[in-house]
Each structure stands twice: as C-alpha cells, then as structure tokens.
Amino acid sequence: MNRRNFFKRSTLLIVGATLAERLSTSDLFAYPDKEKVGSFEGEDAFRQLIKEAKEKGWSGRPINEIMGHVGLALLTTPYVAGTLDKSTATEVCTANLLGLDCVTFYETTLAVARCIKQGKTEPDDLLNELTRMRYRNGEVTDYTSRLHYVVEWYSDNQKKGIVQDITSTLPGAKKYDKLINFMSRHTDAYKQLKGNAELIEKIKKVEDSINEVEHYYIPKNSIKEMEENLQTGDIVAITTTIIGLDVSHTGLCYRDQEGRLRLLHASLTQKQVFLDTDLHTYLAGNSKQTGIMVARPLEVGT
C-alpha cells in the first residue's frame, strides 16, 4: 500500500486496528533518461487528450486552465487504487489513464497539462513528467524515493519549480502542528515495507525531515471566506484527524460558470472522477477532515 491508497486503507486501520532560481532548478531536477521510463496503461486515452487539446487550442491557455480542461476530460474515469504497486520487487514509474485515485488524478492532470503546454505528445513524455514530480529530486531508486506524503510532494515540487505551496499566504492560515509518522507506525500495511528494516529506516528519515519543517493549513471553518483566493487547477490536500497522517484526500479546485469553487477529484464514494459540490460544503460533511493545504501549478519554464 502507498500514499495513493492509504487514504482508503487508513480508515480500515482505525476501524480494525491514510526557492532557488528557476534556471538552476531546471538543471538540478532534470528529466529522467528515456531508458528509465516505466509502464503505461491508457495510451489511447492519452493520445485522445492530446488530440482534443490541439483541436481546441489548449496550449495557449494558462497552465491552471489547461488543468481544468484535462480534469473535466477525465470525468467518469473509474476510481482505482493501488495502480502504482503492481510490482513490489522493483520501483517503476507508472502512468494509468484507465483508473485513477485521488493522488494519481491530480498528478496525471498536471503532467498531461505540462505536456500540452510544451507541445509534447508521446506517452514517454507523460511518464517523464510523472517521474519528475512523483519522485524525490525526480529520481527513481526504491520505494522510499516516491513522495508518499503530500506535504513532501508540495515541498519537493516547489523546489523543482512545478508548483508553489501558497497555503501560508492565504487568509486564515495556521500552523499545522502535527507529527507525521503514519507509514513507520503501520509498516505491516505496506507490502514494500513489511519486514524490510532498511526501507523502514529510510521512511523514518523521510518523516523526520518532514517534521523538521513548518507546515500550514486553512482550518475548515475559514475555507468559505477565503475561497475567492483560489482558482481552477489549484491542488487541494485535505488535512485529517487521523494520527500520524498529513492528509486524507486530494483533488483540484474548479471554478464553474456560476463562479462556485468546486472540488474536482477521483471520488471513492462516486467510484470515478467526479465534479463535486462547493469545496467548503464538501469538507463540512466529514468530521475527520480538518482543513486544506493548497499548491498552485506554475507556468512551464517560468
């Protein structure tokens, strides 16, 4: 199990037992070698997205708007957890447009949008984008090189110039004083970690590093008043009461034609990618959801 499905499995555990200069960042976090790209499912779906983007001129739009178009194009894609863990022996980057969970949905949407913006049209291009954003420093080594915790995903991808964590700048932001150690406390729930002392120790070091940094969130009772500061394409991570876990769900902001800020996400309840209700209303319906963190996608090459 990984961060993409521990959001689902963590609930079961509780019931039964979830910046340097931009030019220099481009050099530091280069794209992976072609020979090292991983597996791909849904190439036809990807090519259809690229075709639609070309026909409708999406590449000329801001990156956040492209993400909105891509996200809507992925509506009704089935919710499927665990797509990144089909092989536990060797860590490889996986793209799957036929089934998405809440994390692979926002990653894939952003990666496709970046391909469109750069005029990249091949499946390997998408795999390269996913590898760069999904793994620490863009390098695949082992299971622990994957950015399992969303708070680290935000931080690492800010260093790469892919997103900016804007949480602390938003009205109502507060420090998120929480010890993050869910994975090291539940190693038996992860096939790759179970019985592997070396990987467990690496995960503990990752958690220690996360806990050394200040994090911020917007409490749920402040979200309605500050929603005007958010825009289509913003990546939202929903904080949680679950002990040791940073967030329990993720998705994208989508501002509809009526101006409502809605949650566009791979929904476990709906079992598909779904355009949900207002963001603040969505959180109000779950007592375990405490607030949000927000990362804003940055224009490619800026």
**Please, which pLDDT band fits residue 302 given cuts at 50, 70 and 90?**
low
pLDDT for position 19: 24
pLDDT for position 276: 99
150 within a domain of the structure (yes/no) = yes
**Please, which pLDDT band fits residue 214 given cuts at 50, 70 and 90?**
very high
Contact at 8 Å (CB) between 291 and 278? no
Q: Which residues pair with 239 in a beta bridge?
A: 247, 291
Which two tokens mark 47? Answer: 């090519």
187 within a domain of the structure (yes/no) = yes
84 within a domain of the structure (yes/no) = yes
Q: Which domain holds residue 266?
A: 3-297
166 within a domain of the structure (yes/no) = yes
302 within a domain of the structure (yes/no) = no
- pLDDT for 230-266, tens place per residue? 999 999 999 999 999 999 999 999 999 999 999 999 9
Task: Write the DSSP symbol of residue 212.
Answer: T
83 within a domain of the structure (yes/no) = yes
- pLDDT for 168-213, tens place per residue? 999 999 999 999 999 999 999 999 999 999 999 999 999 999 999 9
User: What is the pTM assigned to this prediction?
Assistant: 0.89
Angle 295-299-301 (CA atoms, 0-180°, nearest 5)? 125
Residue 219 has φ and ψ, to the nearest 5°, of -55, 150
* Cα dist from 175 to 178, 217, 225, whole Å: 9, 6, 18
pLDDT for position 87: 73
**Please, which pLDDT band fits residue 100 given cuts at 50, 70 and 90?**
very high
76 within a domain of the structure (yes/no) = yes
Determine the Cα–Cα distance for residues 42 and 53; give it in Å rounded to an integer: 17
33 within a domain of the structure (yes/no) = yes
Q: Which residues pair with 265 in a beta bridge?
A: 274
Mean pLDDT of 128-139: 97
Residue 63: CATH number of its domain: 1.10.3670.10
Domain count, the chain: 1
